[in-house]
Amino acid sequence: MARPDKAAAVAELTDKFRSSNAAVLTEYRGLTVAQLKTLRRSLGENAQYAVVKNTLTKIAANEAGITTLDDQFNGPTAVAFITGDPVESAKGLRDFAKDNPNLVIKGGVLDGKALSADEIKKLADLESREVLLSKLAGAFKAKQSQAASVFQALPSKLVRTVDALRAKQDEQGGAE
């Protein structure tokens, strides 16, 4: 029979895995408490960074339906539970790891799919959701402007063509 405190910890971690869009596993060996505090701030407001026990976290991940992380629960592990934009948090982790080589990104999960450490770094290279949406809106607006120009050009081309035909007929009529 599991101890009540361990069962409560597993239940809490399971809820965090289920309510998160993404989770990133890191090794924090060698980081000071002050550095961990800085890391937590750099992740943004949509992420929680928690130092966890491997066995309990592995059980919680399995209960949440995430089995792809099982081999990454070794050594001192901390998990960043991300509920908002995963790109922002991935950038925070990447930038912090550049300045502090003791932070090692092991891997993670995004919407139920496993991510390697390299894939998390690629995710960090993406632009934020807001920037991508504004670029998409700009592209739509540009296409609408192009369509409006085409539709506006058609009647004016027609008028010029009709005028040219009329002028040509007047020249032929006057020459006879």
* pLDDT tens-digit profile, the chain (176 residues): 468 888 888 889 888 988 888 899 998 888 889 988 888 888 878 888 888 888 888 888 888 888 888 888 888 888 999 888 888 888 888 888 888 888 888 888 888 788 888 888 888 777 766 777 787 787 777 777 777 777 777 777 777 888 888 888 888 875 55
pTM of the model: 0.67
Q: Does residue 28 sit in the same domain as residue 99?
A: yes
Question: 42 and 116: one domain?
Answer: yes
| In a shared domain, residues 56 and 134 | no
The range of the structural domain enclosing residue 58 comes to: 3-126
Q: Say if residue 73 is in the same domain as residue 159.
A: no
Instruction: List alpha helices for 2-128, DSSP H.
Output: 4-19, 33-42, 54-63, 86-99, 117-125
Same domain, 103 and 169: no
One domain, residues 122 and 150? no
Same structural domain, 34 and 117: yes
CA–CA dist 12, 49 (Å, integer): 14
User: 3-class DSSP state for residue 51?
Assistant: strand
In Å, what is the CA distance from 115 to each residue of 23, 72, 122, 171? 10, 11, 10, 75
78 lies in the same domain as 98: yes
* Domain total in the chain: 2
